[in-house]
Structure 1
Amino acid sequence: MKHLLIFLSLGLSLCAETATPLFSDDFSRDEASPGKEDIGNGWTSNSAWRAKGHQQVDLIDGVMHVTKHAEADHGVAIFHNVEFQDGIVELKFKLGDGDDLGVDFVDRELKTVHAGHLCIARVTNKSVTLTDSKTGGMNNEIRERRQKGDKSPELAALLKTKTKSFKLDLKPNEWHTMNIKIVADQMTVRIDGQDTGSFSSEGIAHPTKRMITLAVNKSADVDDVKVSKLK
């Protein structure tokens, strides 16, 4: 029995996933010029071309505060290059009523999808939604059909298979944690240490995620971002 237990323990250790840290940020710094967007540590945003250069990301007391500017014609997108196939993104977030935060996985070298969008986990205080963008709504052919007004039952049925939502009941304006894990074609999310939901779809398995994007449609606070690759 003792030898069996040792063998099983060794087997579990060999099968365990190995996470290699790639990037982390606790935002404990200030901008070089007050009032000017300067996130630093490799982050960039779309404020220059989507918000006429207005500041939408502000570092205050070690927290990234994100607020869409009134003149912006698109949600706030905050980019960081980081490359992996399977991996984990962890972060802390705080949302007010009606706010949301997306963690988007991107490969801009992939030309079959709009802006390289592969898959995304989007959280509100009421739900988290996992979406395969690569073979869903961001696929160029599908996106073109939708822009042309295609509302066919066939397309609607296809898109329905590319996303899944799970209910949440988070307290607004309080800090919560999110852990997003991608292994092969499966994306799994934990909120505040609790299993929230998993979704499998072929686009999630794209071999190279080259960037993460924090996507905010209204406002959000973010802290302690960590990215690791698996295997």
Structure 2
Amino acid sequence: MKSLLFLLFIIVPPLFAAESGADATWLQQKGTLIFHDAFEREEDGNLAAAIGNGWNSATANRAPKIKQADLDGGIMKISSATVEAKHAAHIHHEAGFTDGGAVVRFRFPGLNAKESLQLGFVDRELKGVHAGHLCYGILGTVPPIITLIDHKTGIMNLENQKRRDDALAKKEKIPADLEKLLATKKIVVPWKPDQKWHELVLVTEGDEMRLSVDGQVLARHQSEGFAHPMKRWFSFLVNSTVWIDDVKIWRVK
């Protein structure tokens, strides 16, 4: 694993110093703030709309007796009932933009060995793509990597899924052309996770997605799915525990 991370570091440098802080500035100067939540309230129960302020959970009703999002002192503490719900905690809010993004303060609290945060954009009105999943940034602690992935034209595309699943069902190799295509739909870079608070910025601009932490661009990738014309939802997917302190959604275009 160490040698793999070293190679990833060489191939994809995890910092674009000349652009430090550029995306937060781009959103503020070129964009319109369309949503802000500092979570200064109490949630109302455990069900889908319990978080309030327009948030909804696609998984809360699967485990209605378990509180997966606890608003505590201005922090949304997400603890996924992944086993009981048979799905990672999925929490989303309406967005609505072509170019733009989200600014999120987050912390891995260290309550679980493998904490991760997946966040990105969904369009449930899109046909031909599983659940409308468009594109995501994923921050993992074990292994310590960041992934940017285009699901729209990648593995969430229903035709691509069927080809993969048919091959797996026959215990055959995934077709070489499909495997080659899927490899172009994501980028993976190493990073150094910890248990401190950080500001994360995730943006799409044309066919490019960029992810910054504390003003430093750690990953960027180009893929056609990033240019989808309507990011209707901003979405969190959490498989264990993560804390969220503040969320802003910006529309540039």
Q: TM class by shorter-chain length?
A: 0.7 to 0.9
Rg (Cα) greater in structure: 1
**Counterpart for residue 101 of structure 1:** 117
Shift of 1:196: 0.7
Change (3 A) 1:195 1:72: same
Q: Aligned equivalents of 2:184 and 2:135: distance in 1?
A: 13
Shift of 1:32: 3.5
Unaligned runs of 5+ in 1: 1-15
Matched, 1:40 2:48: no
Shift of 1:36: 6.5
Change (3 A) 1:62 1:164: same
What TM-score does the superposition give when structure 1 sets the normalisation length? 0.87
Matched, 1:205 2:217: no
Q: Aligned equivalents of 1:48 and 1:17: distance in 2?
A: 36
* Matched letter for residue 191 of structure 1: V
Contact 1:180/1:187 (8 A) holds in 2: yes
Matched, 1:152 2:175: yes
Contact 1:130/1:187 (8 A) holds in 2: yes
Contact 1:114/1:140 (8 A) holds in 2: yes
Contact 1:118/1:132 (8 A) holds in 2: yes
Q: How many residues align?
A: 214
Q: Secondary structure at the match of 1:115?
A: helix
Matched, 1:141 2:153: no
Contact 1:93/1:221 (8 A) holds in 2: yes
Unaligned runs of 5+ in 2: 1-27
Deviations 1:12-66 (A, max 9, x none): xxxx961110001111101245x67710000010234433553211111111111
Deviations 1:106-144 (A, max 9, x none): 111101100001111111242211000000010011112
Q: Secondary structure at the match of 1:204?
A: helix
Q: Percent identity?
A: 39
Matched, 1:92 2:115: no
Give 4+ residue runs of structure 1 displaced > 6 Å after superposition. none
Matched, 1:130 2:153: no
Contact 1:47/1:55 (8 A) holds in 2: no
Q: Secondary structure at the match of 1:81?
A: strand
Q: Which has the higher helix share?
A: 2
* Matched letter for residue 190 of structure 2: K
* Matched letter for residue 196 of structure 1: L
Contact 1:47/1:53 (8 A) holds in 2: no
Contact 1:87/1:183 (8 A) holds in 2: yes
Give RMSD over aligned pairs.
Answer: 1.8
* Matched letter for residue 140 of structure 1: L
Q: Could you tell me which of 196, 212, 218 is aligned with 1:190? A: 212
Shift of 1:156: 1.4
Deviations 1:125-183 (A, max 9, x none): 42211000000010011112222216222221111100001210121x22111101210
Q: Could you tell me which of 71, 74, 81 is aligned with 2:84? A: 71
